Amino acid sequence: AAMPLFIGYFQMKKQGQAIREEGPKWHNSKAGTPTMGGLVFLIGSILTGIWVGAWQKQLTPTLFILLFVLALYGVIGFLDDFIKIFKKRNMGLNSKQKLIGQILGGIIFYLVYRSEGYPGVLNFFGLDLPLGIIYGIFALFWLVGFSNAVNLTDGIDGLVAGLGSISFAAYGLIAWHQHQYDVLIICLSVLGGLLGFFVYNRKPAKIFMGDVGSLALGGLLAAISIMLNQEWTLLLIGLIYVMETASVMLQVTSFKLT
């Protein structure tokens, strides 16, 4: 219900997504399309998660740390989007500023993760590897890496909203199977928000989710895979994100070498 109002506000203010001049020419038609739609479904997902968690007596530290990751990575993306729109150009926070925020979020997540008695054991395709403090480094890499991977994938109408819906539905099933109902609540809350957003984001998109949505979704997926001790499954569930990131890295490397 809030999305049409959000779209209308951006259209009234004539504020929307700037398009890079060096990008594909077919992207030019998207210039001026309202962005930051992720803010709406993030707020809805967080409020729903807290409400359902209270109703089902599942307001656990796990639920709150997952909401924290969603919110903090969303704030990083929000600042990035806000600067882009305010300055009317396709540049926001620089990579160093983003990285500092993402690492900070990863450190806090890991500290809470260990304080709750989670062992820091990496599930490597079914093989448990007790990594100790090294697992903390892995957790940071996982959150930062996948938040950026989802962000890089968000370039086609409805793509991340659709893939994200599938990803959170998959982790919802895993959480249900493992009886981790606090994680299930988060998965379903975000899934509901994404499905509602997809209606407005499918081709031709009336609004983009922006970095506020994509960075938050990627960070949350990584955090959920860790909480479920199903880290390796993200390489399958998030295969498109991995492939997109690998493609971008290859293109950048090729460009630098030529």
Annotated binding site: 151, 211
DSSP string over the chain = -HHHHHHHHHHHTT------TTS-GGGGGGTT----THHHHHHHHHHHHHHHHHHTT---HHHHHHHHHHHHHHHHHHHHHHHHHHHTSS--S-HHHHHHHHHHHHHHHHHHHHHTT---EEEETTEEEE-TTHHHHHHHHHHHHHHHHHHHHTTSTTHHHHHHHHHHHHHHHHHHHTT-HHHHHHHHHHHHHHHHHHHHHSSSPS---HHHHHHHHHHHHHHHHHHTT-TTHHHHHTHHHHHHHHHHHHHHHHHHH-
Binding annotation for Mg(2+): 151, 211
